[in-house]
Amino acid sequence: MELPFAESYKIKMVETIKKSTREEREQWIKDAKYNLFNLKSDQVFIDLLTDSGTGAMSDKQWSALMTGDESYAGARSYYELKETIEKILGFPYFLPTHQGRAAENVLFSALVKEGDVIPGNSHFDTTKGHIEFRKATAIDCTIDEAFETQKIHPFKGNIDLDKLEKVLQEYPKEKIPFICVTVTCNSSGGQPVSIENLKGVYELSKKYGVPTMFDSARFAENAYFIKIREEGYADKTIKEIVREMYQYADMMTMSSKKDAIVNMGGFTAMRDAELHRKASTFNIMFEGYVTYGGMSGRDMSALAAGLDEGTEFEYLETRIKQVEYLGDKLMEYGIPVQRPIGGHAVFVDAKKILCNVPKEEFQAQTLGVELYLEAGIRGVEIGAILADRDPVTRENRYPELELLRLAIPRRVYTNNHMDVIAAALKNVFDRRNEINKGLKITWEAPIMRHFTVELDKA
């Protein structure tokens, strides 16, 4: 008999989570103005709001905290991290920052100016924010297949090389500070980019004299998908694949809160000494001295350990199989989800489920509230509330997709939790035709409204 799959770790420390009654949740979500961000974590049984900074560190990472060196300059922890980044990613220079968006702030301050364009694959919101804040433009060159939820494609994060080349031809290279490749592509659902595509992008970047930057939050999950799906990579280790991926990058930014499995941290890394010098000034200004930036010594030591563990196949297999397990279970129940299942989350197609709720009443948010009421599970809306208003007309923007994202924290929940999530969503799905009313906005901030929006029953 073939042995079933089991996790590649055992549990040494646990944290109690609280169940609640439907009556309690009805009151709590009302008090939270039907905004899931406003709930206290104690009011949540299973928290799938994000996989960012919510992972469980290992015994090795916790012990690294104890050996951290808190010297202001030249800390041992800094050199541990420097060595690890060079070994795993191949970059000789790096600057530590407090998280991913801070790395963007430091690097883009050195590179991006008004009127620039930055082509890439569905830039992440903070990345786009840091580009637009500098009055530059992000141009989405993702392949068209990425936008069809039911279309199966192994590398939906890929850049369309024709679209990219058009941008490179249209603008002079002085206006393109870099090409931005997000691995895996968060905005298109944690979808990976193939080595073949990374190579193609790099060749174009060299042809046109424009550097390539990897936005690297989920680089290890990307490498896992290359190993599983791309021809010729089945026998390579994750670390070998990661080294190969980064041959095709000149620089990178990293949110360490994802694949490096720490609760806070980030960095930017590069090959060019001159760029490192230039960015160092901004690091000192915004983050801290160059050998700690936004991080304490112990956190740099835990991050070094996390980068090493996070690029081990057994860990990644456990991680990604759990996300797949949930996705498969939902599909088995007939619930429409984005396919193939991405690396860090399952995206539920709320528009296909809540057909009786008009889009003006926020289908994905309504589904998120229903799932919370059903079982105390917190997901996050990726729909019209997030899409916000048009900056010029101030009209609501209604995106093509109304998705409820269920992001799975790393090494935190068991498959029993996945079973509860799937059953709860099935219960909501079974009574979908009785849900005719959504939500209406009673207050919103002028930008980034989704974090603080206040809603009521429509």
Ligand X SMILES: *Cc1c(COP(=O)(O)O)cnc(C)c1O
Question: What residues make contact with ligand X under the rule CB under 6 A?
Answer: 52, 99-101, 124, 126-127, 182, 186, 215, 217, 255, 257-258, 266
Q: Taking the alpha carbons of 134, 139, 142, 145 in that order, is the dihedral positive or negative?
A: positive
Residue 215 among the catalytic residues = yes
DSSP per position, 84-103: HHHHHH--SEEEEESSHHHH
The bridge status of strand 345-349 relative to strand 251-255 is unpaired
Of 99 and 301, which has the nearer Cβ to ligand X?
99
Residue 227 among the catalytic residues = no
Which entry of 47, 51, 116, 215 is annotated as an active-site residue? 215
Compute the residue count for the chain: 458
CB of 51 to ligand X, least distance (A): 9
CB of 423 to ligand X, least distance (A): 29
Cis omega (within 30 of 0) for bond into 340: yes
3-state helix, strand, coil in the chain (%, to 5): 45, 15, 40
Of 182 and 212, which has the nearer Cβ to ligand X?
182
Which entry of 258, 276, 329, 344 is annotated as an active-site residue? 258
Beta bridge partner(s), residue 348: 337, 404
E strands, 121-201, where? 137-140, 179-182
Of all residues in the shown chain, the one whose CB is closest to ligand X is 100
CB of 350 to ligand X, least distance (A): 22
**3 state DSSP class of 66:** helix
Residue 313 among the catalytic residues = no
Residue 258 among the catalytic residues = yes
Cα–Cα distance between 203 and 208 in angstroms, integer?
9
CB of 155 to ligand X, least distance (A): 16
At residue 245, what are phi and psi to the nearest 5 degrees? -55, -45
Which entry of 78, 124, 178, 347 is annotated as an active-site residue? 124
DSSP per position, 313-327: HHHHHHHHHHHHHHH
Q: Residues near 361 by Cβ (< 8 Å), separated by ≥ 6?
A: 437, 438, 439, 440, 458
CB of 127 to ligand X, least distance (A): 5
Residue 166 among the catalytic residues = no
Of 82 and 98, which has the nearer Cβ to ligand X?
98
Of 287 and 370, which has the nearer Cβ to ligand X?
287
CA 299 to chain centre: 20
Residue 217 among the catalytic residues = yes
Which entry of 72, 133, 398, 451 is annotated as an active-site residue? 72
Cα–Cα distance between 180 and 157 in angstroms, integer?
12
Which entry of 31, 125, 430, 456 is annotated as an active-site residue? 125
Of 116 and 215, which has the nearer Cβ to ligand X?
215
Beta bridge partner(s), residue 213: 180, 251
Of 54 and 58, which has the nearer Cβ to ligand X?
54
Which entry of 64, 103, 217, 422 is annotated as an active-site residue? 217
Q: Which residue has the tokens 């041992």?
A: 76
Residue 5 among the catalytic residues = no
CB of 121 to ligand X, least distance (A): 10
Active site residues: 72, 124-125, 215, 217, 258, 450
